[in-house]
Amino acid sequence: MVNIDKYITLKDDVSALIICNKENLNESLSMFCSKQQADYVRQMYEQHKKDFFDFCLTDRYVLVAIVKEDELPYKTKELYRRLGGKVLRFCDNNFIKDLQVASLTVKDNILGFTEGMLNCSYIFDYYKTDPERMIHPFDNLHIVHNDVEPKDLDELRIICEATEKARDLVNEPVTVINAETLAHNFASMAQEAGINIEIWDKQKIEKEKMGGILAVNRGSVDNPTFTIMEYKPEKHNNSKPIVLVGKGITYDTGGLNIKPGDYMNDMKSDMAGAATMGCALYAIAMLKLPVHVIALLPATDNRPNHNAYCSGDIINMYDGTNVEVVNTDAEGRMILADALAYAKKYNPSLVIDMATLTGAASRAIGPFGIVAMQKDAENFMEVMKTCGKKVYERIAEFPFWDEYDKLIVSDIADIKNSGEKYAGMITAGKFLAYFTSYPYIHLDIAGVAMNEHDTDYAGTGATATGLRLIVDFLRTYYK
């Protein structure tokens, strides 16, 4: 990861970036640029609307970026994140290793720029043997801003490091990250961050009669796990804990309802919910937020081997519910249901689950946000929507009308694990809500967990979308 620190003033021997907006353009140029540079920037901006300039000097670069700030602060901060990605790529292409950044904009925008650079610097290329593979030459970012404190940069670094950990877990193939190694990674993070952790093996899961996890695992040669992580600082602002639940399907073939064609290509990412929630808790603990949080992370792969569960099976779940299986590719909700039922023992103030759950969610809103539903959690959801805008991991809330309950009624069991051919993301949420008796928010990240192509600052592959949302939500709600 890029190193970040604070400079009090610009140094003459380090490449510099000056970030301006229309209102402070003249003041910024007069403070940070030579007269010749300033005159050229003004002329090209006024006549041709050019907004990015690079001056190559003998021993360094001077860069100038002009941001057209939006009336909505959260949109402006996103523009700065995107600028961070653009500048990181420029520095790499021009072999700039150190950059100092100065701006008269507000602190939040500079932190957004820094976040964009840090996230863009991530790359997953461990398995490339080409010695010429892309490695970021860029090393050090120095912030020159009166309002930015070292503490701000430390907190941002922690969140970005947690994001990198989640992205690494999701990008690794199932030959590296199965249920047991996923749990071991959580254990390493827990030890570093001072989190209590308990990992259940298959024998313990059988003893607890978690039928959903065991059913999905029946086709696998690898054992399932159920990880319980708890962060409870001495001083915390919530009387009842928040519980985070994450889907940990380390690889999803679809089971006997096997996925066709290319639909399996990214199925190593079906544990993104568990990876994101586990790493979010790691960030919360490293930030020492005053909130009591528990993470429940069920994990297994879903394969059509051995005695794999099949359509028509009746599965007895942890809470005693009998579920008719009508689709073995609706497996994520089976393991989540056991965890959601188990969460009742904590008498939580709120439970949030996160899962790459349905293709319907991706088809509904594409790769631009998170599909969400809530039950008895209206106030929590409003705060989460606001936080989603702030970190630009936006939420699209779908209805949870009572009529949808009818779509998961089974003729031969209590409920079935898949509904009709429409409203798939809602019926999946309804299935999960059946196992809850507390305020509940469901987050479907199927459309945003992986990027097929380079984006402004997230790159390709795993995104860890949802991690910054969870951290900001807990920091905001329990401030």
Domain of 193: which CATH number?
3.40.630.10
Q: What is the pLDDT of residues 193-204, one digit of tens each?
A: 999 999 999 999
pLDDT value, residue 133: 66
Q: What is the pLDDT of residues 157-212, one digit of tens each?
A: 999 999 999 999 999 999 999 999 999 999 999 999 999 999 999 999 999 999 99
Question: What mean pLDDT value characterizes the chain?
Answer: 96
**Is 80 exceeded by the pLDDT of residue 42?**
yes
CA distance linking residue 249 with residue 301, whole number of Å: 5
**Is 70 exceeded by the pLDDT of residue 134?**
no
Q: What is the pLDDT of residues 275-309, one digit of tens each?
A: 999 999 999 999 999 999 999 999 999 999 989 99
**Is 80 exceeded by the pLDDT of residue 136?**
no
243 and 327 housed in the same domain: yes
**Largest Cα–Cα distance of the chain, in whole Å?**
80
Q: What are 348's two structure tokens?
A: 């939580």
pTM for the whole thing?
Answer: 0.96
**Is 90 exceeded by the pLDDT of residue 367?**
yes
As beta bridge partners, residue 18 has 64, 102
408 and 300 housed in the same domain: yes
Catalytic residue among 6, 107, 259, 288: 259
Any idea of the CA torsion for 303, 308, 314, 319, to the nearest 10 degrees? Answer: -60
Q: What are 336's two structure tokens?
A: 């989540």
289 and 381 housed in the same domain: yes
Give the pLDDT mean for 27-41.
95
Q: What is the pLDDT of residues 238-263, one digit of tens each?
A: 999 999 999 999 999 999 999 998 88
CA distance linking residue 349 with residue 218, whole number of Å: 34
Q: How many CA atoms lie within 13 A of 285 on its CB side?
A: 24
Tally of CB atoms within 10 A around 431: 26
Say how many domains are in the chain: 2
**Is 70 exceeded by the pLDDT of residue 104?**
yes
Any idea of the CA torsion for 270, 274, 277, 280, to the nearest 10 degrees? Answer: -90
Confidence of residue 129 (pLDDT cuts 50, 70, 90): confident
Q: What are 441's two structure tokens?
A: 């928010």
Domain limit, last residue, from 148, 172, 207 = 148
CB 278 within 8 A of CB 295: yes
Concerning whether 333 is annotated as a catalytic residue, the answer is yes
206 and 246 housed in the same domain: yes
216 and 264 housed in the same domain: yes
194 and 110 housed in the same domain: no
Q: In terms of residue numbers, what domain contains 437?
A: 157-477
Domain limit, last residue, from 104, 120, 148 = 148
263 and 408 housed in the same domain: yes
In three-state secondary structure terms, 238 is coil
Tally of CB atoms within 10 A around 289: 19
Concerning whether 259 is annotated as a catalytic residue, the answer is yes
Q: What is the pLDDT of residues 451-473, one digit of tens each?
A: 988 788 988 999 999 999 999 99
392 and 274 housed in the same domain: yes
Q: 377: Cβ–Cβ under 8 A, 6 or more apart, which residues?
A: 350, 439, 440, 441
Q: Which of 375, 194, 217 is nearest to 301 (CA)?
A: 217
214 and 349 housed in the same domain: yes
Confidence of residue 376 (pLDDT cuts 50, 70, 90): very high
Matching residue, tokens 């708890």: 230
Domain limit, last residue, from 125, 148, 171 = 148
Q: 434: Cβ–Cβ under 8 A, 6 or more apart, which residues?
A: 321, 337, 408, 415
CA distance linking residue 384 with residue 180, whole number of Å: 32
368 and 257 housed in the same domain: yes
CA distance linking residue 92 with residue 2, whole number of Å: 12
Q: What is the pLDDT of residues 54-86, one digit of tens each?
A: 999 999 999 999 999 999 999 999 999 999 999
Q: What is the CATH number of the domain that holds 26?
A: 3.40.220.10
336 and 470 housed in the same domain: yes
Q: What are 269's two structure tokens?
A: 């990412």
Catalytic residue among 77, 218, 333, 394: 333
Q: How many CA atoms lie within 13 A of 12 on its CB side?
A: 1
473 and 357 housed in the same domain: yes
Q: What are 445's two structure tokens?
A: 């990240």
CA distance linking residue 354 with residue 357, whole number of Å: 8
Measure Cα distances from 47 to 21, 214, 254 in Å. 16, 67, 57
